[in-house]
Structure formats: C-alpha cells, structure tokens
Chains A and B, each alone.
Chain A
Amino acid sequence: MNMAVRTPDPKKLIKGATGDWEVIIGLEVHAQVTSNAKLFSGASAVFGAEPNMHVSLVDAAMPGMLPVINEECVAQAIRTGLGLKAAINLYSVFDRKNYFYPDLPQGYQISQYKQPIVGEGKVLLDMPEGVVEIGIERLHLEQDAGKSIHDQHPTMSFVDLNRSGVALMEIVSKPDLRSSEEVKAYLAKLRTILRYLGTCDGNMEEGSMRADINVSVRKPGEPLGTRCEIKNVNSMRFAAQAVEFEARRQIGILEDGGKIDQETRLYDPGKGETRSMRSKEEAHDYRYFPDPDLLPLELDPAWVESLKAHLPELPDEKKARFVADYGITPYDAMVLTLERASADYYEQVAKNRDGKAVANFMLNELFGRLNKDGKGIEASPVSPDQLGAIVDLIGDGTISGKIAKDLFEIVYTEGGDPKNLVEERGLKQVTDTGAIERAVDEVIAANPDKAEQAKAKPTLSGWFVGQVMKATGGKANPQAVNDLVKRKLGIE
C-alpha cells in the first residue's frame, strides 16, 4: 500500500468550505543510535557533559583528522532495518553533505545520500478502524551536529560540540499517513520498535527522537499538493498539533485561491502554530559526493544473518502471540506490548496463570497506579511474583476483587508477601454461608421499607449487596452475597 493507492477514508478527510480535503503526510525521524561511542570517533555518545568534553579531535574537525566507523552503530542500523522488515543493503556509501554552520565543524555532515544502508520496509499501526500499513522508504546513518546556544551573550552564540558526530538513524517514511492520529500512532509505534530493538532509547525530551514532518493537502483523487516541511518536532503531541494546524493553514490558503510555497517551517508549541523559518537567502546546494576518507560500507551477509538471528521478538509478533497463547484481546495485547518491559512483566506473571485475569489486573491496577506516580514498569514496587500471588489469591477465592485492590495497595506501598499479608491482616474472603446469611438477614431486618420496594424493583438488590459487603468489611464472597440477597428478598 502506498500513497498512490491508499483509498481516501472519508473519516479522515478534513471538511473545508469548498469540500473535503485529504492530508498527505510523510515523516523523517532522526533517531539517535544507542552506542557508547560516536559514529566516526572514540568520544562518548552519552548525553549531558561539560562543554566540549565528549569531543575528540575528529569531532572538532582538527586539520588532518579522519573518520573511522563504529561497527556497533552499523549493527544498530541493521537491527533497526530488520525490525522495520526492510531490505538491508549489503553495499552502501557515505556521502558528504556540504554546508556552513557553526555547529557543523567539518563544514559537511557525513550522511548517506544515494546508497543508504537500509531500503524499503514497513510499520503497522493499530488504528481504531484496523491495522494501517505505513511504508518505510529508507533508513540511513549520519552524524548529528553540535549545539549552538544563543541566550548566553548579547552578540555571541556559544558552540558546544558534544553532540557533534553522534550517530543518528534517519528513518524516512513514504507519504502514507493521512491524519494527525496516524502521525501520533506512527511515532509511538516506531519508538516502541526502536526500544524493543535497543537501538534508540526513544527519549524525545533529550532529543533522541526528532521528526521532520512533510505535510500537503489535496482534494481526494487529485494529484499531490505542494508540501511544507515542519522541522525538528520533538514530541508526539506537538507532532499531531503541528499537522492539524498546518493542514488547516494550507487548506485556508488554497480555499482563498492562494498557493502553497514549498518551505521549511517550525512548530511553536506555545502559540500552537507553525511559522516559516527565516527565509534562506539562497537555496541550499549541499553538493553531495562520496566521502573520500571512507570506503564503501560492505556488509558480510553472514553477519547480517547473525544479527537477524539474535533479534528480540518484536511488538507485532509478541502481540499476536499474546492473543493466541493467553486469549487476551488484541487491544489489551497491544497495550501490554507497547514497552518490552511491560510485556516481559506480563509474561512472567501470566505463565501458568489465567492470562486474561493477569492482563486485567495489570492494565487496571498496576498501570493505573504506576501512572499516578509517573513511574515506568521498570520501577514498579510490585514484582511480577507479588502480582502473580495476588492474582492467585483472587483466583482461588481467598480474597475478593475488592480486597485485592486493597491488598495491591498495601504491597505497592509497604511491600511484603501477599499471602502472608492476607493472613496477618485478616483479609480472607468469607465463604461461610452461615455468616453471610446472618449478615443478610440483619440488613433486611434493618431496612424493611427498602426490602419491600426491592420486590417491585429488583435492581435495588444491589444496594443490599453493598450494605452486606460493607458489614462484612468487604471480605464476603460477592457472588454468595448476591445469591443470598436475591433469595431472601424473594426476587427470582
């Protein structure tokens, strides 16, 4: 599926004054490769250091310095390519992209232009209307630039080259996206895949993932419109907002009889709008040519095969397997597999247990609680074993679902073995029908009016169940209470 054949979905069209408009979106995502050292030097690639400390003489482009490629960065690009179901090019070439900028010390960026390391692939999006396939055009390796700081001095910019030469993967999608929701889903899915592979940490705040978004609009069935590129968007939310704004801006211009200038724009999150970047005095002319300091990158097919053999299970496969093996819904499986750590957590708990029950408890209790604390699953105070024990206690009827929530909160905040906690704190579910029956009788006796009403309005039985549960401190088996209440009230 590609932009030429993707049938316009009426739900995704934007209504304008002159009719419906289709938004065509393509993304170029810059993802920082997870590595110890930079792409062509031995300086650290780690974020955050004193100015120019993570800089080698190569990164500072001292005279006579030469690049030597970091093998791990190549491996990471290959892994990513494989994860995107893409063709790996066994022969690729590094080119120089020439332009002057103070944070570009060489006066050129080493990138891959005509022959990238990875060719066409795809990413599957779980959208409400079903799975949408987004084509990947290519992935190539390139150097990051340094950083200019403009607010330290009235007339000078400060240049720090710590980022200069850090390995980036530029992942270029086909213009297959049609809505801001898809943009958000695409970025999320890409991030998930990269994090599964361990090839990029996906940390958008630190700039590990940035997107350039190409947006154009057209009337369905018409040829592609002129596109604008929104540069350097560093959050999924902003990406969606930028697309929304930009699409409407373009539609507005076109409906007023104007035309779109092909240009580079920036998204201003404060104002919620895109604006044209200070128009360049001249068109770029990057004068790409193969970097004569580097030889072509030739990959041994056996190496690529071995990297493939060691790839982790990816989210789509994992999701399918969860649905098949544990009988959970595709939606639950999707949420559980968003992060590899949560999927691993789930599997540890779900093994030899009721997968649905585990999924429910994780999604409703654990994720909610972690979210409240702003914690990731890695930092969960409740271990898979503890969570499993709680689910077991529900399963074998030792505790009620309601008590399970309390127990979970205790384990979350205080820790401890759930089984022992149930004993120590007397949380065990009351299954003794005699004791429950007494409680039911008492509640009915204390509320004769309501009991009378309930005969005519059976839904009132719920109120009695609640009262009985309250009276038993939540420990009564809710099903048993329900049955007894109904029997005693004479409903059914």
Chain B
Amino acid sequence: MTDLTALTLAEARDALKAKSFTAVELTDAYLAAMERARVLNAYVTETPEKARDMARASDARLAAGKAGPLEGLPLGIKDLYATEGVHTQACSHILDGFKPTYESTVSANLWADGAVMLGKLNMDEFAMGSSNETSHYGSVVNPWRRNGSDVNLVPGGSSGGSAAAVAARLCLGATATDTGGSIRQPAAFTGTTGIKPTYGRCSRWGLVAFASSLDQAGPIARDVRDAAILLKSMASVDPKDTTSVDLPVPDYEAAVGKSVKGFRIGIPKEYRLDGMPAEMDALWKKGIEILRDAGAEIVDISLPHTKYALPAYYIVAPAEASSNLARYDGVRYGLRVPGSDIVDMYENTRAAGFGAEVKRRILIGTYVLSAGYYDAYYLRAQKVRTLIKRDFETVYAAGVDAILTPATPSAAFGIGEKADADPVEMYLNDVFTVTVNMAGLPGLAVPAGLNAEGLPLGLQLIGRPFDEETLFTLGAAIERAVGTFAPTQWW
C-alpha cells in the first residue's frame, strides 16, 4: 500500500468511500507520521485514542452508508479552539491545565460531518505572533528548509502548527484562525493553501478570543479543493455568535475548476512596497500572467489607505486583546500564582502566565484605551478602518471581482533570526494580509512557486464579502498553472 498520508483530503475522502482502506488505517498512518515528526513540534497534544475511537465510528458509518462529508478524515485542530475534555490553552501558560467542558462550534461542525481529531496544534500564544515563536510550548519548525541548508525556519504564525502539520503530512487538513494574517502568512511560508473567510462566515463561539472584531476561523489545506471542502463544513450560522451571518453556506468545492474567464482582477499599486524582494515582485507578475492567460481581465486599482492598515491594526487588535484577556485572572480556570492579596495574586498570575509578546500587546492596548488617549488612538484607528473598508468598497463597486497581491513580503526566515529585532519589524510580516481583516473581507493564500533557495512563496486573493467562491475559482486556476508543493522529508 502506498503511503496513505500522501493523499489529499479529497482523494482520501473518495478512497474511503470506495473502501480502498479504512478510516482506522488512515488514522493510524497519520498517528505514525506524527510520532516521527515530533521534532517539528507541530502538535502540542496528540489524541490517538480519541482519534482511533472516532475513526472506528467513521468506519461503522461508512459501512452503513451513512458517511458525512468528512467521514473518517483525520484533522488537526489549532489550540485556540475549545475541544471538550482536551487540552485547550491557546498555547499560553496562563490557561495551564484548562480542559473545556464544551466544544467550539467550528470543531463541532467538523465532527458532525465525520472528521477525526488527531490532536491540538501549536500556535503563537493567544495567536499573537507571525513566527510561532511566542508559543509557551516552543517554536514550530517549518518542514521546508533552504536548499542545502539545515537551518530551522519558522512556519509563520500564528497558525504555525497548523501550517507545518499540513505541509509535513501530519494531518489531511487543519483548522486555523486569522486575526491579521495568521492563516495566510503561515500558509505562504509552508506552501499550503489557507483561507480567511469573510468576518461572520464561521462562528467564533468556542475560539479563545484575541481581537473579536478581527478574529475569524478558517482552514489550512494541501490544495485549493481541500480548503474548499473544509470551509464548507466549518462555516455555519450560529445563534451563539451574534456576529455570525445568516447566509446559506455554498458548495465551495463546486467553485474549484470553474473558468476564470471574464473575472476582473484588481492589482493594487499600494502593495508594491519599496525594498520588496525581487523574487516577490516576480511571483506577483507570474500570478498576473497566469490569470490573464486563463481569461481574466487585469485592471490596475488603488487602495489609498493601505499603508495605514498595519498601524491601525496595532491599535485596534491590542485594545480588544487587552480587554479579552482580562478574564485570565487565576480565579475560575488556568494558572494561579498566589499573592499577598487579591491584586497581588492577579499581578503575579498574569506576570507568570503571559509571555512577553502577549504582555506587550496588553500594555499597548491598555494604554491606547486609557483616559485621555482613547480619541487620539482607538477612535482614530477605527475611523481609519472605515476608510480602509471604503477603499475596497469603491473598487468592488467599480466592477472588480477580486484583488491579487503577494501574501507576504518575504519567504520564511530562520527561527530566532528576528529575536532581537524591534517588535514592529516582526509586525511587518502582516503588511499584506492585515487590510483584509480590517475590512472583514475574505482572503486566500495560495502557493505560486519556490524562490531561488527552494522556499515556497504565496499569493493572496482578496474577495468581496461572502464571495469565497470566486477566491476558490481563481486560486484553483493559479494552482493548475503552478502545481502544488511539498517539502522533502528530512525529519
């Protein structure tokens, strides 16, 4: 039998239906792969018993002809998702030992469709980071290495565990979340496909909150079709999330393979940054050519407030985070470090429980909301956000169907390489992705090639609100032209 982990999610799905192998066999193949790949540190918790139980139940349903859309397909779950009775810590020390008594809506949707849980995936603490180096459980190692190098690279973040696990074939697909680029940037760094759906498309209920107005769940997958299949199951209207939107979930997979003829693709001039590596510029041009050759119309557009998205984000996201993370106080769950009185207990607990990046963002957020600074920072940032959204509305109103940009300013960098850098330098990783969150739009990262060093590079497609289908159609067209990418196994 060939290595079962080589199959895509769609292929495995079809093979299970054809009874080529069982869900238990497939699950065992993944559990074995995970064991061999522990050096990558992609999983923070493996749940083999649960996985086999779920796989057995899937086999029974497959045998009974009652298979769900994801029946028997093993997935990894980002540690930000509440999973009932299973380690859920957002990779933070402050949630030490927390095992929820509830299941997030998105993961519950996956299990209801028959998927199998392999374990919880590493991530930046509370999803704050772009390299997965802020995790309490240590860095994730990117399965990709530069040609001829054994330097460990970051997988991107915050969904670094998700991206690495998918790239290294440690799951068929993974859940992830994206607040400023946390799906698309690691997808680009690992040659995988990731989509941040429109804000409101997936329920946030049961996702440990980072920045409520920006957080959105989405999948990281091996190819565009797999991402489409996963998003179909993840998305739902949830009465428990007031911001989830009451729109039917389309059959995203049907959008894969459709013609791109007649689509108008906007190319925003503001994304052409000074000092952007030539390889990135070349990749972008290649993407434009592919879509033009496939019949799309390419138009130059302007999104004038693009450069303000990142600074506005670094006000809005920390402000919301400073409030969302106030509940970690050592009273009801997680870590408690004793103190001489209640305030001392709070201060000790939060000092010991949060890592440096999380503290930094809480302090920034607390500062920008504090008396006398609210208008200058938070209110102004939310106004700028209105302008950013208006930029997109203007080009969409002018007939643009989607926007093509690079996904990241560079390829993956080395672990520890930016340890001493200014925090802002790390934040610049999200310069292309963060606008999408600020405007609540859908964004897809799709690999478009390898750089001279053999590292994957990704392009980003930005769509109209709730038009994820167009992104899958366009992403699939790029994928058809360039193929998919997998790292050489070295671990």
Contact = CB atoms under 8 A, between A and B. Distances in A.
B363 to A, nearest CB: 12
B329 A107 contact: yes
Given A57-B102, A102-B342, A107 B242 contact: no
Contacts of B325: 107
A96 B211 CA distance: 14
A214 B88 CA distance: 46
B323 A107 contact: yes
Interface in B29-70: none
Contacts of A60: 332
Interface residues on B, range: 35 or more
Contacts of A8: none
Interface string B193-218: 00000000000111111011100000
A293 B242 contact: yes
Contacts of A324: none
Chief secondary structure at chain B's binding surface: loop
A62 B326 contact: no
Given A69-B242, A293-B212, A64 B327 contact: no
Contacts of B213: 292
A467 interface: no
Contact of B82 (A64, A159, A287, A291): A64
21 contacts: A61-B332, A62-B82, A62-B102, A62-B333, A63-B90, A63-B95, A63-B208, A64-B205, A64-B208, A65-B206, A66-B242, A66-B243, A96-B323, A98-B322, A98-B323, A102-B331, A107-B327, A157-B342, A287-B322, A291-B212, A294-B242
Interface string B99-111: 0111010000000
Interface string B315-343: 00001101101110101110000000011
Interface stretch (B180-188, B366-374, B386-394): B366-374
Contacts of B293: none
B242 A289 contact: no
Contacts of A63: 82, 88, 90, 95, 98, 100, 208-209, 327, 333
Nearest to B89: A63
Given A68-B239, A295-B242, A106 B326 contact: yes
Interface of B: 82, 88, 90, 95, 98, 100-102, 104, 204-209, 211-213, 239-243, 319-320, 322-323, 325-327, 329, 331-333, 342-343, 346, 366, 369-371, 374, 378
Nearest to A96: B323
A293 B205 CA distance: 10
B371 A285 contact: yes
Contacts of A291: 212
Contacts of A68: 239-242
Contacts of A157: 342
B13 to A, nearest CB: 29
B102 A287 contact: no
A82 to B, nearest CB: 25
Contact of A64 (B104, B332, B342, B371): B104
Contacts of B343: 100
A57 B211 CA distance: 20
A108 interface: yes
Nearest to B372: A285
A98 B240 contact: no
B323 A108 contact: yes
Contacts of A287: 322-323, 366, 369-371, 374
Contact of A108 (B82, B208, B326): B326
B90 A289 contact: no
Contacts of B333: 62-63
A207 interface: no
Contacts, number: 97
A220 interface: no
A159 B331 CA distance: 9
A105 B369 contact: no
A105 B239 contact: no
A105 B241 CA distance: 19
A84 to B, nearest CB: 28
A107 B378 contact: no
A64 B98 CA distance: 13
Contact of A105 (B90, B206, B322, B327): B327
A157 B342 CA distance: 10
Interface residues on A, range: 20 to 34
B320 to A, nearest CB: 5
**Which 7 residue pairs across A and B have the least CB separation, nearest first?**
A107-B326, A292-B212, A287-B369, A292-B213, A61-B327, A64-B206, A63-B208
Nearest to A281: B343
A67 interface: yes
Given A65-B205, A287-B323, A293-B242, 12 more contacts: A63-B88, A63-B100, A66-B241, A66-B243, A67-B242, A68-B241, A96-B323, A287-B322, A287-B370, A289-B319, A292-B212, A292-B213
Contacts of B329: 100, 102, 107
Nearest to B379: A289
B207 A64 contact: yes
A64 B328 CA distance: 12
B101 A57 contact: yes
Contacts of A295: 242-243
Find the residue from A60, A96, A102, A293 having the highest chain B CB count within 10 A.
A293
Nearest to B244: A66
B123 to A, nearest CB: 14
Find the residue from A64, A67, A294, A295 having the highest chain B CB count within 10 A.
A64
B100 A62 contact: yes
Contacts of B90: 63
A468 to B, nearest CB: 78
Contacts of B100: 62-64
Contact of B326 (A64, A98, A102, A285): A98
Contacts of B205: 64-66
Interface string A73-106: 0000000000000000000000010101010011
Given A285-B370, A295-B242, A100 B101 contact: no
Nearest to B214: A292
Contacts of B209: 63-64, 293
A293 B333 CA distance: 22
Contacts of A61: 327, 332
Contacts of B240: 66, 68
A103 to B, nearest CB: 9
Interface in A143-186: 157, 159
A105 B366 contact: no
A63 B101 CA distance: 11
